[in-house]
């Protein structure tokens, strides 16, 4: 199994906790960062721009994505141009559609023509991948985020879809596919195996990197010890429980 430094797929840290992001920034294997309004809300952020600018003071040499939050395409464009002005390493996250189900393709094309670097997010079908690829084809560097984890949550294997997405995007080397919403560390190695460019990973998944290459017999023993220690700590005693039941 490959080590972290042998992986071809780039690891992007996904989160909106400033301390956590800066901790991840200390690791050379973290090649970029992504955020979204949901993560920001969970982190208690109330001033979007102030948070973004504070992060960009420290993270200047790796790509970082900030998402628009308007639902009207005209307002999305205004927000996108503002966010893009914050730094050369900024990618503007644009949802593949608005809440009315209207496709954002025209906006994506307009922003690409304006040389805005984008991260198109929340894709889950190959038709969406094709439409977005076409819209970004003549623009600058951009990411296409396919939510493989959410696809897997529906019982569908995302691997064939991700492989086809790479084929669709291949004629445009400035476009990179992101394996978004991974559910387990194994997804990192799956993404690497098929040649996916990027995978977003949360701190919970990143912490599991220390397990890569671990001896499974040792891991089995550690698990058994954990169960035993927790049983003792809980004070479980079947004979005592039976006596208590009789007393009741």
**55: its two tokens:** 């992060």
Helix (H, G, I), strand (E, B) or coil at 28: coil
Asked if the model's pLDDT at residue 121 lies above 90, the reply is: yes
pLDDT per position as a tens digit, 64-84: 999 999 999 999 999 999 999
CATH architecture of 4-211: Alpha-Beta Barrel (3.20)
26-30, 57-61, 153-157, 237-241: least confidently modelled range: 237-241
- β-pair partners for 10: 198
Dihedral sign (CA 18, 88, 140, 169) = negative
Asked if the model's pLDDT at residue 4 lies above 70, the reply is: no
Query: How many whole angstroms from its chain centre is CA 6?
Result: 20
The pLDDT value recorded for residue 57 is: 97
**193: its two tokens:** 């195996």
**115: its two tokens:** 């040389």
Q: Quick one: average pLDDT of 7-27?
A: 93
Asked if the model's pLDDT at residue 244 lies above 90, the reply is: no
Q: Quick one: average pLDDT of 25-41?
A: 93
Q: Quick one: average pLDDT of 223-248?
A: 82
Q: Contact at 8 Å (CB) between 199 and 182? A: yes
pLDDT per position as a tens digit, 175-224: 999 999 999 999 999 999 999 999 999 877 877 888 888 999 999 999 99
Residue 155: left if φ>0, alpha if ψ -120 to 50, beta else—which one? left
The pLDDT value recorded for residue 133 is: 98
Secondary structure E strands in the chain:
10-14, 30-34, 64-67, 90-95, 118-123, 142-146, 175-179, 198-201
pTM: 0.89
**29: its two tokens:** 């294997």
**Phi and psi at residue 244, to the nearest 5°:** -65, -40
35-49, 106-120, 143-157: least confidently modelled range: 35-49
Asked if the model's pLDDT at residue 105 lies above 90, the reply is: yes
Cβ neighbours, 10 Å, residue 140:
16
Asked if the model's pLDDT at residue 11 lies above 80, the reply is: yes
Residue the block writes with tokens 């593949």 = 96
pLDDT per position as a tens digit, 122-172: 999 999 999 999 999 999 999 999 999 999 999 999 999 999 999 999 999
Domain ranges of the chain: 4-211, 214-248
Q: How many CA atoms are closer than 13 Å to the CA of 27, on its beta-carbon side?
A: 19
Residue 2 — very low, low, confident or very high, per pLDDT cuts 50/70/90? low
The pLDDT value recorded for residue 70 is: 97
């Amino acid at each position: 199994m490959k080590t972290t430094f042998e992986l071809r797929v780039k690891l992007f840290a996904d989160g909106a906790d400033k301390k956590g992001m800066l901790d991840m920034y200390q690791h050379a294997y973290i090649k970029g960062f992504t955020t979204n309004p949901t993560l920001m809300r969970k982190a208690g952020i109330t001033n979007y721009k102030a948070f973004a600018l504070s992060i960009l003071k420290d993270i200047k040499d790796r790509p970082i994505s900030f998402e628009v939050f308007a639902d009207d395409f005209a307002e999305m464009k205004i927000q996108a141009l503002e966010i893009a002005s914050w730094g050369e390493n900024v990618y503007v996250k644009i949802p593949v559609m608005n809440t009315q189900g209207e496709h954002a393709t025209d906006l994506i094309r307009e922003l690409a023509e304006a040389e805005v670097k984008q991260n198109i997010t929340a894709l889950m079908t190959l038709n969406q991948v094709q439409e977005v690829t076409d819209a970004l084809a003549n623009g600058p560097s951009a990411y296409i985020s396919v939510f493989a984890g959410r696809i897997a949550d529906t019982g569908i294997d995302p691997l064939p879809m991700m492989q086809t997405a790479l084929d669709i995007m291949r004629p445009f080397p400035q476009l990179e596919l992101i394996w978004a919403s991974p559910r387990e560390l194994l997804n990192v190695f799956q993404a690497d195996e098929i040649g996916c460019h990027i995978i977003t990973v949360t701190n919970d998944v990143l912490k599991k990197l220390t397990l890569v290459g671990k001896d499974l017999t040792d891991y089995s023993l550690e698990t058994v010890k954990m169960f035993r220690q927790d049983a003792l700590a809980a004070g479980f005693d079947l004979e005592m429980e039976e006596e208590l039941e009789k007393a009741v």
